Amino acid sequence: MSETTTRPAVLILLGPPGAGKGTQARKLEESFGMVQLSTGDLLRAAVAAGTPAGMAAKAVMEAGGLVSDEIVLAILKDRMAEPDTARGVILDGFPRTPGQAEALDALLAEQDLAIGAAVSMEVDDAAMIQRVSGRYTCAGCGEGYHDAFKQPLEEGVCDKCGGTAFNRRADDNAETVGARLKAYHEQTAPLIAYYAGRDVLKTVDGMGPIAAIADDLGAIVKQVTA
Ligand code: AMP
């Protein structure tokens, strides 16, 4: 354990769409100064910028499928090369296939880094469709909201930054969520056994209050960085 003390922590968040990976990664950023690394966010930025990778990924993302490992790995490697990752990283939405998990192992080995923990956020699929279908974020600061569960205190005004523009993801609709859940169970869920076999798997109950889940994750971060 002590060998991880001087090296940045690498935490993987595993869970289906709507499990709360992004919400919790942002909380861990605030609490521990780690850096959230979301391949979904990086891909959406590539789509918005119209890069070749973004153009190749767009239709697959809209259909709820998985973008090729080649594209995702190239984007992730570039991001991992930025200096802020020395503060520790929370991988949100990556790896998503056994091939990506193996590529991550190789990438971390090159940098003399190790996975501190892979946390499986345990949730009910049925609730995920409702969670994902109603969610939206502040365009200014990224704070998350939900039509049924968490509206801003003042209608149309972000609680956190006062912004008045909000975004909804093109793939956050009931149909696409079904395809995304299927992709999760077929291609990503096997990683739970992969990380259990590597002795780095932790699980948290992802159905409780956001603050309680944040506490559970915070305890895991403290454990792996102690
Ligand atoms: P997310 O923001 O994690 O829900 O990802 C949104 C979409 O981006 C997914 O439905 C995939 O189409 C794509 N995506 C994000 N991360 C990955 C990944 N690691 N591998 C393949 N596709 C990904």
pLDDT at 104: 96
Spacing, Cα 43 to ligand 1 middle (Å): 7
pLDDT at 6: 55
pLDDT at 1: 43
Q: Is the pLDDT of residue 7 over 90?
A: no
Assign 3-class secondary structure to 191-209. Answer: HHHHHHHCCCEEEEECCCC
Query: Which residue type, as a one-letter code, is found at position 101?
Result: A
Residue nearest ligand 1's atom 1 by CA? 40
pLDDT at 8: 76
Beta strands in the chain (DSSP E): 10-14, 35-38, 89-92, 117-122, 135-138, 144-146, 166-167, 201-205
Read off the pLDDT of each residue in 51-79 and give the average, rounded to a whole number: 96
pLDDT at 3: 44
Mean pLDDT of the chain: 93
Spacing, Cα 155 to ligand 1 middle (Å): 30
Q: Is the pLDDT of residue 5 over 60?
A: no
Q: How far apart are CA 107 and CA 152, in angstroms?
A: 40
Q: Is the pLDDT of residue 141 over 70?
A: yes
pLDDT at 225: 85
Read off the pLDDT of each residue in 114-126 and give the average, rounded to a whole number: 95
Better-predicted residue by pLDDT, 94 or 87? 94
Please indicate whether residue 135 is annotated as part of the active site: yes
Best residue among 24, 47, 58, 66 to mutate for probing ligand 1's pocket (most ligand atoms within 8 Å of CB) is: 66
Task: Read off the pTM.
Answer: 0.93
Better-predicted residue by pLDDT, 170 or 94? 94
Spacing, Cα 57 to ligand 1 middle (Å): 9
Please indicate whether residue 169 is annotated as part of the active site: yes
Better-predicted residue by pLDDT, 124 or 5? 124
